[in-house]
Amino acid sequence: MGTPTYQPRVNVSSDGWRTPTGGVSGGRRLSHQMRPEEQQSEPTGPKPRPGFGLRGPRRNPHVLTADALASLTLPVGDDGVIIGIDPQNQPAVLSMLRPAPMEIVLVGSMWMAQVLALRTVATGARVAVETARPPAWGQMAQAAGGGQQCVSVHEVRQIGPQGPSVSSPVLVIRDMGARPPRNQLAPSPWQSVLTVLPFLGPRSPQMLSRVDLVGLQRLSPEEAEVVTRIMRLPEQVGAVLPTLSDNAMLWCRRDGDHQFVMTQPTEAETNLLGGPRRMD
């Protein structure tokens, strides 16, 4: 009796694939062949295309006619720093960081400037402080940003370029008394400069006449008259300035546009900075 020999047989399927089905003479099964009970029938239906998978359900596309486009509305809110509430008890938002350079003057306390700094940091921006009293800003700078270096404090004339960008805007706060020296930083996009004045000095009217925005805490009657004239405010508005509470402000522009705002500190701000005050 001779040695069994392997005699492959080839079947050609309808799709053109050649599949070996051979066996061993004598009816023996090769080790790589499945048993009859293990063989499964070929699946029916469309075959998946390589790399694309099965075709999923088909739905009619959503089509909007040209006439229906006008009915679409997109909710757009204000973008900026929430500085308090307006007389209608609605959030007052101040957009201090823009693609173009911006100059702001705050006639008020360091307390108010530090609240604005903390809330600016909360929006993801950086704050650089040029000040004649670094120790007064040190504690706030360390507490801001949860341990990250979001606020930097610099001596007078020791501040360098901050490298502002759309992804990293910068608010520069200049706190150097009523007669601040000339700003050494060149105007840059996404960099705004906030100058803090404790009161109006001899050069303050000239400064107010050229900045983009002015924030005013309580003023003396004489100061209120100067501001009313320079900022073109209604007389009844100027008459209110000497009566403002410590956490109230008037924000205005040279075109006469103005808004009263009440700044209510959060618990964290109060624990760090204390209560509202007009003078430091």
Tens digit of each residue's pLDDT (9 = 90 or more) over 59-100: 555 566 777 766 766 544 557 899 999 999 999 999 889 999
Categorize the per-residue pLDDT at 114 as very low, low, confident or very high, splitting at 50, 70 and 90. Answer: very high
Residue 22's pLDDT is what?
Answer: 45
**Predicted confidence band at 43 (pLDDT cuts at 50, 70, 90)?**
low
Tell me how far CA of residue 102 lies from CA of 58, 65, 95, in angstroms.
53, 43, 10
- pTM over 0.85? The answer is no
Q: Which of 94, 81, 175, 187 is closest to 129 using CA atoms?
A: 175
What's the CA angle centered on 200, arms 251 and 266, to 5 degrees? 45
pLDDT of residue 128: 96
User: pLDDT averaged over the chain?
Assistant: 82
Give residue 16's pLDDT.
Answer: 43
β-partners of residue 250 are: 216, 260
| The pLDDT value given to residue 28 | 53
Q: What is the pLDDT of residue 44?
A: 58
> Which pLDDT band holds residue 10 (cuts at 50, 70, 90)?
very low
What's residue 18's pLDDT?
46
**Tokens describing residue 138:** 């040190």
For residue 50, name the pLDDT band (cuts at 50, 70, 90).
Answer: very low
pLDDT score, position 107: 97
Q: What is the pLDDT of residues 188-227, one digit of tens each?
A: 999 999 999 999 988 899 999 999 999 999 999 999 999 9
| Residue showing tokens 């001596």 | 155
131/271 Cα distance (integer angstroms): 23
Which contacts of 94-100 are long-range, i.e. CB under 8 A and separated by 24 or more positions?
94/213, 94/251, 96/120, 96/171, 96/192, 96/194, 96/213, 97/123, 97/125, 97/169, 97/170, 97/171, 97/190, 97/191, 97/192, 98/189, 98/190, 98/192, 99/166, 99/189, 99/190, 100/189
Mean pLDDT for the stretch of residues 7-21: 45
Between β-strands 213-216 and 191-197, what pairing exists: parallel, antiparallel or unpaired? unpaired
Domains, the chain: 81-273 (3.40.50.300)
Q: Are 203 and 180 in contact (CB under 8 A)?
A: no
For range 111-121, the mean pLDDT: 96
Would you state the pLDDT for residue 25?
44
> Which residues lie closer than 8 Å to 239 by C-beta, 6 or more apart?
224
What local confidence, expressed as pLDDT, does residue 67 receive?
A: 74
